[in-house]
Amino acid sequence: MEKSEIIVKAEKLVESAMKGNDASHDAAHAFRVRDQALSLAHEEGLSTSPDSMLTVELAALLHDIGDYKYMRDPSEGKIVEDFLVKEGVDENIKTRILSIIKGMGFKEEVAGLTGTTQYPEFGVVQDADRLDAIGAIGIARCFTFGGSRNHVLHDSNIKPRSDLSKENYMNKNQQTTVNHFHEKLFKLKDLMKTKAGQRRAERRHKFMEEFLKEFYEEWEGGA
């Protein structure tokens, strides 16, 4: 099926806005999240509504534009809204997209901000993003991001933080890459909002557990 004009424009915006990011949060990530979100939406019965599917696709595509981790200019925070206005997106769909993007991050969940779950599309998009953060791709993205910020790979003397506030979570300076598995990635399986997301997360979660078990054994020289 041929893509709609707005989807083509959104894809071009993603490629332009995210081209300076490292490979953990590049355009390919946004496209994977879009594909995953559409697949989950079909499983969750949203495909009967064209408005819901458009909401899911645009929110998934645009969700990381203006991400605080890569913000170079405060004006980047309005890129998505300005795009939706310029393209004449229906007001209700625009409101849903912006609300989903604003509330779907792990830092919002840590802070207890879950109001956007009132939209059925929210869980689909959030689950798709979180599925891309776990499993084989999640492992690759985790180490890519850590390397881009010169994080220590692993230090057994630096323990994972157990009490994460939103502000504490956003402070990545004292975090090792491996600790990110314990502070966030291993928690995502139980935070999935959709049945389809929960099923897919089980396999990816198990793969991460096996990987980290092997990692620790090799780190200690026992494998």
Residue 26 sits in a domain of what CATH number? Answer: 1.10.3210.50
- Between CA 83 and CA 78 the distance in angstroms is 8
* pLDDT tens digits, 113-142: 554 557 899 999 999 999 999 999 999 999
SS3 (DSSP) at 20? coil
Average pLDDT over residues 198-221: 97
Helix then strand then coil, in percent of the chain rounded to 5, is 70, 0, 30
Q: How far apart are CA 201 and CA 179, in angstroms?
A: 20
C-alpha to C-alpha distances, 98 to 65, 121, 122, 127, 222, nearest whole angstrom? 11, 12, 11, 17, 49
Residue 165 banded pLDDT, cuts 50, 70, 90:
low
The H or E element that residue 109 is part of is helix 106-110
pLDDT, mean of residues 6-26: 96
More confident residue, 223 or 131: 131
User: How far does the chain reach from its first CA to its final CA, in angstroms?
Assistant: 50
Question: How is residue 143 written in tokens?
Answer: 């180490």
The 3-state DSSP class for residue 24 equals helix
Structure tokens given for 183: 């502070």
Q: Please give the model's pTM, rounded to 2 decimal places.
A: 0.92
CB atoms within 10 A of CB 99: 17
Give the per-residue pLDDT at 168. Answer: 64
pLDDT band at 6 (very low <50, low <70, confident <90, very high): very high
| 31 or 76, greater pLDDT | 31
Instruction: Count the Cβ atoms, other than its own, within 10 Å of residue 108.
Output: 16
Domain that holds residue 87: 5-219
Neighbours of 213 (CB within 10 A): 11
Average confidence (pLDDT) over 67-73? 80
Q: Which residue has the higher pLDDT, 3 or 141?
A: 141
Joined together, the tokens standing for residue 157 give: 């003397």
In the chain, DSSP assigns E strands to none
Please tell me which residue, 169 or 188, carries the higher pLDDT value.
188
Pick 2 or 189 by higher pLDDT.
189
Measured CA to CA, the distance from residue 196 to residue 128 in angstroms comes to 10
Residue-averaged pLDDT of the chain: 91
User: What are the residues whose beta carbons fall under 8 Å from the beta carbon of 24, sequence distance 6 or more?
Assistant: 141, 142, 144, 145, 148
Structural domains counted in the chain: 1
